[in-house]
Amino acid sequence: MKEIKIAVLAGDGIGPEIMAQAVKAVDKVAAKFDYKITYTHAVVGAAAIDAVGDPYPEATHQTCREADAVLFGAIGDPRFDNNPEAKVRPEQGLLAMRKKLGLFANLRPVNTFPSLLHRSPLRHDLIEGADFICIRELTGGLYFGRPQGRSEDGQTAYDTCVYTRAEIERICRLGFEYAAKRRRHLTVVDKANVLATSRLWRETAKAMEKDYPEVEVDYMFVDNAAMKIIQQPRHFDVIVTENMFGDILTDEASVITGSLGLLPSASIGEGTSLFEPIHGSYPQAAGKNIANPIATILSAAMMFEYAFSDMEAGAAIRRAVDLSIEKNIVTEDIAPAGVKPSTTSEVGDFIAANI
């Protein structure tokens, strides 16, 4: 029997509801593949601010450090949005978690489900067969650059984008390695015609090409990449890019699948890896049992594959997810016209029962 410890950080909004469905799937995998799982629950985001005044408390950090993997739901609460009186924001908890755990890379796979092609606003012939992965740098760039702030009169604001060669080499190496395992095509996305940091990105990646002669590398400005992801998504195999560009491009890429509720992600680095859906906390749906849990359940599949090197366990979850979509056991965001949507918990129950 394989013993593993999982830190469960449900977070805010729909987080607790979708996390409950992922745990159902993990429990079923544990029974089927002979795992003994110990869950430790911890607070993060607005829930943590309400509890202890800190969006990522030290106790939560210790729970994550001691775990073999972290399953994370969502962060965000409208009480803190555009609120000048808020001294701390829930989203700061996610940034702190990434920084403290050394999670420098976010992996976001983008691929289509044949039975859901009709849900995408893009033409079938453009998106059918799309299958690529975005690797986003997570701990540098504008989101972490200093100095950052506003002038005393409040009329000027500033952020600083900072990257070191070592940070770029670290994330690009991951991009080259993933491309070598896939279709051997890496796209480096930057804005080297304008930004000094992007020029360092391109210079660093070019110097690394000789170490991966089997990988074809192309370089693309971020505005061009944004167009090509929509116009020719099958062009891409592995994309590697900096923090803010990756944040924007991966949300854009979600339209290929037809719903943000379908896309999982993994954040990996120096310590415990974290697995989470790419969507936010969707506070309007909290407590209504209507949110799509599939991205969180697929994040659990990635957890078994990346954290525990158990491709068979991950595949069992993926097959059950595919079946739920084929049978239209899905929530309202992807339910076909004329089909009664299932609730969040009904989707979770169906997927768990079919693992």
Q: CB under 8 Å to 126, separation ≥6 — which residues? A: 230, 231, 232, 233
The residue annotated as part of the active site, out of 206, 223, 288, 327, is 223
The residue annotated as part of the active site, out of 191, 212, 237, 310, is 191
- Written as one string, the DSSP assignment of 178-244 is HHHHTTSEEEEEE-TTT-HHHHHHHHHHHHHGGG-TTSEEEEEEHHHHHHHHHH-GGG-SEEEE-HH
Secondary-structure percent of the chain, ordered helix, strand, coil, rounded to 5: 50, 20, 35
Q: Counting every residue, how long is the chain?
A: 355
Give the C-alpha separation, 43 to 335, whole Å.
32
- Residue 235 CA, chain-centre distance (Å), reads 21
**Residue 277 one-letter amino acid:** P
The residue annotated as part of the active site, out of 35, 56, 143, 212, is 143
Indicate the pairing of strand 185-190 with strand 238-241: parallel
The residue annotated as part of the active site, out of 27, 50, 68, 251, is 251
Q: Is 310 designated active site?
A: no
Q: Is 251 designated active site?
A: yes
Q: Is 143 designated active site?
A: yes
Q: Is 223 designated active site?
A: yes
The residue annotated as part of the active site, out of 247, 282, 310, 333, is 247
The residues that are catalytic are 143, 191, 223, 247, 251
